[in-house]
Amino acid sequence: MKKNIVIHFLALISLALPLLEAKASDVDWVHGGRHGWVLEVYDENSAKESLPDCLKMLPKDELSHKHFVKVHYKNIKKHVEVFAEVPSSMELGKGDEVEVFPEKCSEGKLSHITKLLEHAHPHELNSTTH
């Protein structure tokens, strides 16, 4: 019985690996890209207190014309959170997977999102931005 469970588990992993590798290969690791997940969406309706310092410094009209997100990615053994502007051609929501090029908000620099890797499942989306 245990042997069958192990065999089925290994079969499932072997089927899933190509999908994971395909998504991972879409990230430009060589030039500093990271595979990240959208944690929070910020726009003109976001409470000022909820904004990170680098977004609080932006003029109010910039917040009303642009959208920003908090993204987390894993860097070796720790999770890192960064803040990025959403390209105008992209619509993102919580849980979406993206390619992000990290910068430091504490230095007044916003990270760059270059592509959407995968939308989150509909039941995971609470808010979206465009």
Q: How many CB atoms lie within 10 A of CB 54?
A: 19
17: pLDDT strictly greater than 50: no
Residue 24 — pLDDT band, cuts 50, 70, 90?
low
Given CA atoms 39, 17, 9, 3 in this order, what sign does their dihedral have?
Answer: negative
Burial of 117 (0-12, 13-18, 19+ CB in 10 A): middle
Residue 62 backbone phi and psi in degrees, to 5: -70, -40
Q: Where are the beta strands (DSSP E) in 1-130?
A: 34-42, 68-75, 78-85, 92-93, 97-101, 111-118, 128-129
Contacts of 73 (CB under 8 A, 6+ apart): 34, 35, 36, 37, 79, 80, 82, 100, 102
Amino acid residing at 110: L
Comparison of pLDDT for 101 and 124, the residue scoring more: 101
**Alpha carbons 4 and 80: distance in angstroms, whole number:** 39
Comparison of pLDDT for 85 and 108, the residue scoring more: 85
Residue 8 — pLDDT band, cuts 50, 70, 90?
low
39: pLDDT strictly greater than 90: yes
Closest C-alpha to 70, from 125, 21, 110: 110
Residue 98 — pLDDT band, cuts 50, 70, 90?
very high
